[in-house]
Amino acid sequence: MSRPYLMIPGPIEFTDEVMSEMSRPTPSHVDPAFIEVFGQALERLRTVFLAGPDYQPFILAGSGTLAMDSAVANLVEPGDRALVVDTGYFSQRMADIVQRYGGEVTLLSAAPGETITPEQLRAALAEDACDLVTITHVDTSTGVLTDVKGLSAVAKEQDALVIVDGVCAAAAEEMRQEAWGVDVYLTASQKAIGTPPGLGLLVASPAALAKWRGRKHPVGSYYSDWGYWLPIMQAYEARKVGYFGTPAVNLVMALNVSLQQILDEGMEQVFARHVLLSNAVKAGLAAMGMTQLPADMAHAAHTLSCPCYPEGIDAGFLRFVRAEGAILAGGLHPVVKSKYFRIGHMGAASRADVLTALGAVEAGLRQAGYAVEPGVGLAAAQAVLA
């Protein structure tokens, strides 16, 4: 490829089949062929999240932040108590959104690069009963993976609703929405889901819908109100015409293709491929002498890696990496921002892609003046892939 490869933690590189949907003539949003596509996309989203037929998918025009807003605006009423499992930058955004809709937030915060265990959550909830627990599946700022299954089980001991931000995890990290008792799993199109930016995606459980139906106060956001969107999603799934706001037609067509590509691979294979690629990247980085965030690989994400700059190297080295063929991201967590960079390896990412990224990092490091033995990172990664 003549252009550098985009390997940040989203947006990612999209498949040719997805991109060709983006360039097709835009049909009417009430064209029967488009209604069929939208209906399929809703069904496929539910399947990708491993949720049952009574779970309600929503496909909205907007980014991942809109999906967060949609979940919270509809499920939080003034005075509701929410415990926010805080593993970094995006958990804090969730706390802000809950407060904006009148919820009372208790933050259960981990240090940057650390996680929160189910035992810690149980202790926090024993002190402070909550109506709602929010969890960030993968914190994109530090590469921390949370134990959604364990945390969610603890929240259910108290009948709390569970909202999980899966923006940097959905369709990559293991997630069994129904089996794990997750009431809302939400994401955005531009990461492992594999569609250009512009769609907020969420699937709500029957308990979440019941909580919304029983609200005493109107939903505080006009655009996010499920009262407008639920009939539209139900209409498309029933292959009927519905209109509230014009859907992002080409993005929905592209989404339908990417969801089918994910399902063709199979969810278990998708989860396993992300583990394998992540292990290869992390082994390659370690072999080049770099430490990583999180320090404990037991709670490291498989969608991205967060290597710390070696002594004497800073973010300036990323321009050498780019010239060598890979666009990577700098640090994001305000407390440790200048100490690390980030490599995304999710969605359609392949073995060849992660080797490209590692090769570019190695060449970039040498150009920045850091002595690294040629091929040492690639050899370690290849050993994992073999």
Q: Tell me if 250 contacts ligand PMP by CB under 6 A.
A: no
Q: Tell me if 173 contacts ligand PMP by CB under 6 A.
A: no
Q: Which is nearer to ligand PMP, 72 or 355 (CB)?
A: 72
Distance CA 151, CA 259 (A): 27
Q: How far is the CB of 169 from ligand PMP (least distance, A)?
A: 7
Q: How far is CA 358 from CA 173, 284, 381, in A?
A: 21, 7, 8
- Stretches 34-42, 58-66, 341-349, 361-369: which one binds ligand PMP (CB under 6 A)? 58-66
Q: What six digits make up the tokens of 368?
A: 């920045």
Secondary structure of residue 355 in the 3-state scheme: helix
Q: Tell me if 10 contacts ligand PMP by CB under 6 A.
A: yes
For residues 185 to 224, the per-residue mask of contacts with ligand PMP, x marking binding by CB under 6 A and - elsewhere, is ---x------------------------------------
Query: Cα 305 from chain centroid?
Result: 14
Q: Which is nearer to ligand PMP, 64 or 242 (CB)?
A: 64
Write out 131-155 in H/E/C secondary structure. CEEEEECEECCCCEECCHHHHHHHH
Q: Name the maximum alpha-carbon separation found in the chain.
A: 65
Decide the pairing of beta strands 81-86 and 104-109.
parallel
Q: Which is nearer to ligand PMP, 136 or 195 (CB)?
A: 136
Q: Tell me if 86 contacts ligand PMP by CB under 6 A.
A: no
In this chain, which of 60, 82, 154, 168 binds ligand PMP, going by CB under 6 A? 168
Distance CA 328, CA 361 (A): 9
Q: What six digits make up the tokens of 242?
A: 């519905």
Q: Are 154 and 125 in contact (CB under 8 A)?
A: yes
Distance CA 41, CA 370 (A): 47
Q: What six digits make up the tokens of 355?
A: 């080797």
Considering CB under 6 A, how many residues would be counted as binding ligand PMP?
A: 11
Q: Which is nearer to ligand PMP, 70 or 205 (CB)?
A: 70
Q: Tell me if 291 contacts ligand PMP by CB under 6 A.
A: no
Q: Which is nearer to ligand PMP, 40 or 136 (CB)?
A: 136
Decide the pairing of beta strands 132-136 and 81-86.
parallel
Q: Which is nearer to ligand PMP, 235 or 300 (CB)?
A: 300
Considering only CA atoms, which of 353, 297, 348 is closest in space to residue 328?
353
Q: How far is the CB of 372 from ligand PMP (least distance, A)?
A: 30
Secondary structure of residue 58 in the 3-state scheme: strand
Beta bridge partners, 374, equal: none
Q: Which is nearer to ligand PMP, 341 or 370 (CB)?
A: 341
Q: Which is nearer to ligand PMP, 140 or 258 (CB)?
A: 140
For residue 311, which amino acid is it?
Answer: E
Q: Tell me if 61 contacts ligand PMP by CB under 6 A.
A: no
Q: Tell me if 161 contacts ligand PMP by CB under 6 A.
A: no
Decide the pairing of beta strands 326-327 and 5-6.
parallel
Q: Tell me if 143 contacts ligand PMP by CB under 6 A.
A: no
Q: Which is nearer to ligand PMP, 283 or 346 (CB)?
A: 346
Residue nearest to ligand PMP (CB): 64
Decide the pairing of beta strands 199-204 and 56-61.
antiparallel
Q: How far is the CB of 157 from ligand PMP (least distance, A)?
A: 25
- Stretches 73-81, 161-169, 255-263, 357-365: which one binds ligand PMP (CB under 6 A)? 161-169
Residues of this chain that interact with ligand PMP (CB under 6 A) are 10, 63-65, 90, 136, 140, 165, 167-168, 188
